[in-house]
Structure formats: C-alpha cells, structure tokens
Amino acid sequence: MKYVSEFRDGEIARAVAAEIASVAEPDRHYKVMEVCGGHTHTIYRHGIKDLLPDQVELVHGPGCPVCVLPMGRVDEGISVAERPEVIFTCFGDMMRVPGSKGNLLEMKAEGADVRMVYSPLDALRIARENPDREVVFYAIGFETTAPSTALTLQRARKEGLPNFSVFCNHVTIVPPVRALLDSPDLRLDAFVGPGHVSTVIGCRPYEFMPEDYGKPCVVAGFEPLDLLQSVLMLMRQLEEGRCEVENQYSRIVPWEGNLAALRSMAEVFELRPYFEWRGLGFIAQSALKLSEEYADFDAEKRFSVPGVRVADPKACQCGEVLKGVLKPPECKVFGTACTPERPLGALMVSSEGACAAYYNFGRKSHERVEIGSRN
C-alpha cells in the first residue's frame, strides 16, 4: 500500500536499528519518551523495542487523551448523560472508560440516551433532527481534535442551534511535558514529538525542550520506520552534542502548523487557569474551555457541572504509568483485575492507551516480531 508499506520495510528497519546501535555509547543508558498514544501503539504493535539496543529505553508519556482524563470528569459526563432531556454523544473509546460508579455504556444499558459518534458534526446533525432534546457532545482530545470541535461550534452558532452544547475536555500538550520535565521522578534524555498534534500546532512550540531543559525533540510519524528514524535522529543529536527540534514527519507536519485550524481554535476556546490530569494533578493552562463568545454552547454552564474530584481506585497505578515511572506490566493488576474486557483504568480501554497496547501486542522477551508482519 502506497505511503504505508515503504515505511514497514523489515530490511531497512534492521539497517536503521544497526545504525542506532553503532551510535549508542556502550556504557550509557538512554531514556527516550514518546508523548503520543499513536506512537505507543506502533512501538508495541510492530515490535520496535525488540530492534533497539539494550541501552535505548522507550518510555511512554501522557499522550492518550482518554487516559489522562481524571475520574471526576468521567463521572460528570455520566451525570449529564443521565438527564432525561439529554442525548449524550461521544467517541467510541470514551464509552467504556470507568467512572467511580460505572461507564457510559452501562448507563446506556440502563436507559440513558448515549450515542457513539465519529465526528462532532454527527452530534450537530442529531441536534438538528431532535429540536425538542438537548444534544451534548463530550469533546475530548489534544490539539489534534480540538479544531473539529471548534469548527462544529462555529457552524452551530451560525445556524443558531439552541439545543446543542459541548462538554469540553480538550487538553494541550506542552504543559504536561513541562510538568514531567520539572518532576524529580524522571530522568529523560530526549523526546519523540507527537505527530498528530504537530499537524495542528507545528514544531515551534517544542523549542522550550532544548532551550529551557537541554532535551532534543524529533517530531515523528506513525509507521515503524518513522519511529526508528526519529530515534536515530535523536541519538545523532546526543552523539554530536546538538540539542534542537527536528521534524522527521515533514511529509505531513508543517513547521508553523495549520494556521486556519489555529485561528478557529483561538476564536472558540480559551485556556483554563487549571485542569486536573490523571496521575499528574492540576497543571496550569493545560486545557481548553469555551470562550465567552461561545458560552451559550458550554454544557458545563448549561447543566451546572460542579467540578468534582474523584480518586482512582487504590489498586490502580495509571498515574505512574502515565508519568513513565512504571511500565504497564509493572502495575499490580495488569492482566489480572484489569484487562481490556474488564478495565479498571482508562489506559486499558483506549487503543492508544499504553496498557491496552501492551496487553494486545506485548510479548515475552524471547518472542520477536518481524517488522511488516503485522498490518
């Protein structure tokens, strides 16, 4: 398949891996963090870890938007969904994320009108078709999906739809990465920058990594060779004593980002002063809410959402996994009390969650996978 198979060539992958091994200093341990759920998925699915030398460790950061949502926000969404006048719409992976008393799928089974949509525009159509019901879209995602929510709200405003609102949970990528770099728990050498988010925000926002923290960053694509080449680019920077932002995914990511998308976001959203992240606590200016101009479409105002805090279950170690302190199988309940069929934490639900990716594609160390053998 054009633009896919050439990025899954096993022979080239082995050659790039050999180059990484030749650049890595034998006595040094390198920790490279990726902050995109899509990268985590590719790493496990295609066995990237098996190809890397032992000195190079890939660490998974808070890159899955479903996973970083705290339980209180899930509970609040459920409380809106339970209202009899509401049709509650959300993406499919959100339906099974556990709240403290169940998930949206269970609420649906008990009679709540919860509907899965593929786009916020589907929610807008449902609002047009049901003028006597309140239609709420549960918006979630990093800067990748925020533009589609912004465009939908611009359209709703233009049409003057009174029965449509958005429960906004969009988050931004830079503040949690800063929080991780400020954390004494973690020593990192370099970052693989998120490809999807960067199609919108570009590469410039990552310049704080080399400038303020002395950490190189390479924005990467999602095929196995993209990731391997990105790791090689980072290793070369470390070897040569360079420290900068580079763009491996230039076939998709413009350096300055998508200016039209950024303009729409600037009109519709503003930064929240604080937002709670699962495992990372409250982080300043790390999430978006609807601007004053769009306040009439804000579900949190329309339904008086109180903003409750709910602690994760005691056995759950999602926070440590999200911070890259633990690997998924090091969680005490991984694969026993917590599985994709019966998830205890959000990381086991979303296909981009590190625990689900490891559960589905991880293997024992003696098992190896050939690049290109999993399509």
- Judged by CB under 6 A, the chain residues 275 through 334 that form the site for ligand SF4 are 316-318, 321, 328, 331, 333-334
Query: How far is 213 from 181, CA to CA, in rounded Å?
Result: 7
Please identify, using beta-carbon distances, which residue of 134 and 312 lies nearer to ligand SF4. Answer: 312
Tokens of residue 197, six digits: 């988010």
Q: How far is the CB of 322 from ligand SF4 (least distance, A)?
A: 8
What DSSP line would sit under 52-116, residue for residue?
S-TTEEEEE-S--HHHHS-HHHHHHHHHHHTSTTEEEEE-GGGGG--BTTB-HHHHHHTT--EEE
What type of residue is 339? Answer: T
Please identify, using beta-carbon distances, which residue of 8 and 323 lies nearer to ligand SF4. Answer: 323
Q: How far is the CB of 74 from ligand SF4 (least distance, A)?
A: 13
How many residues interact with ligand SF4 (rule CB under 6 A)? 14
Residue range at the interface with ligand SF4 (CB under 6 A); choices 20-28, 283-291, 344-352, 366-374: 344-352
Residue range at the interface with ligand SF4 (CB under 6 A); choices 39-47, 160-168, 177-185, 345-353: 345-353
What DSSP line would sit under 276-318, residue for residue?
EETTTEEEET-BEEE-GGGGGGBHHHHTT------PPPTT--H
Please identify, using beta-carbon distances, which residue of 156 and 321 lies nearer to ligand SF4. Answer: 321
Judged by CB under 6 A, which of 35, 245, 348, 357 binds ligand SF4?
348
Q: How far is the CB of 318 from ligand SF4 (least distance, A)?
A: 4
Indicate the residue whose CB is closest to ligand SF4: 345
- Judged by CB under 6 A, the chain residues 248 through 277 that form the site for ligand SF4 are none
CA angle, residues 31, 37, 39, in degrees to nearest 5: 60
What type of residue is 300? Answer: E
Judged by CB under 6 A, which of 136, 150, 179, 344 binds ligand SF4?
344
Please identify, using beta-carbon distances, which residue of 209 and 357 lies nearer to ligand SF4. Answer: 357
Q: How many Cβ atoms from other residues are within 10 Å of residue 151's Cβ?
A: 18
Question: What is the distance, to the nearest Å, from the Cα of residue 196 to the centroid of all Cα atoms in its chain?
Answer: 9
Query: How far is 246 from 257, CA to CA, in rounded Å?
Result: 14
Q: How far is the CB of 41 from ligand SF4 (least distance, A)?
A: 15
Spatial contact of 181 and 208, defined as CB atoms under 8 Å apart: no
Spatial contact of 178 and 20, defined as CB atoms under 8 Å apart: no
- Judged by CB under 6 A, the chain residues 191 through 210 that form the site for ligand SF4 are none
Q: How far is the CB of 35 from ligand SF4 (least distance, A)?
A: 17
Spatial contact of 191 and 215, defined as CB atoms under 8 Å apart: yes
Residue range at the interface with ligand SF4 (CB under 6 A); choices 24-32, 89-97, 255-263, 347-355: 347-355
Q: How far is the CB of 315 from ligand SF4 (least distance, A)?
A: 7
Please identify, using beta-carbon distances, which residue of 228 and 346 lies nearer to ligand SF4. Answer: 346
Spatial contact of 313 and 24, defined as CB atoms under 8 Å apart: no
Q: How far is the CB of 144 from ligand SF4 (least distance, A)?
A: 22
Cβ-Cβ contacts under 8 Å for 263 (sequence gap 6 or more): none
Contact residues for ligand SF4, defined by CB under 6 A: 316-318, 321, 328, 331, 333-334, 338, 344-345, 347-348, 355
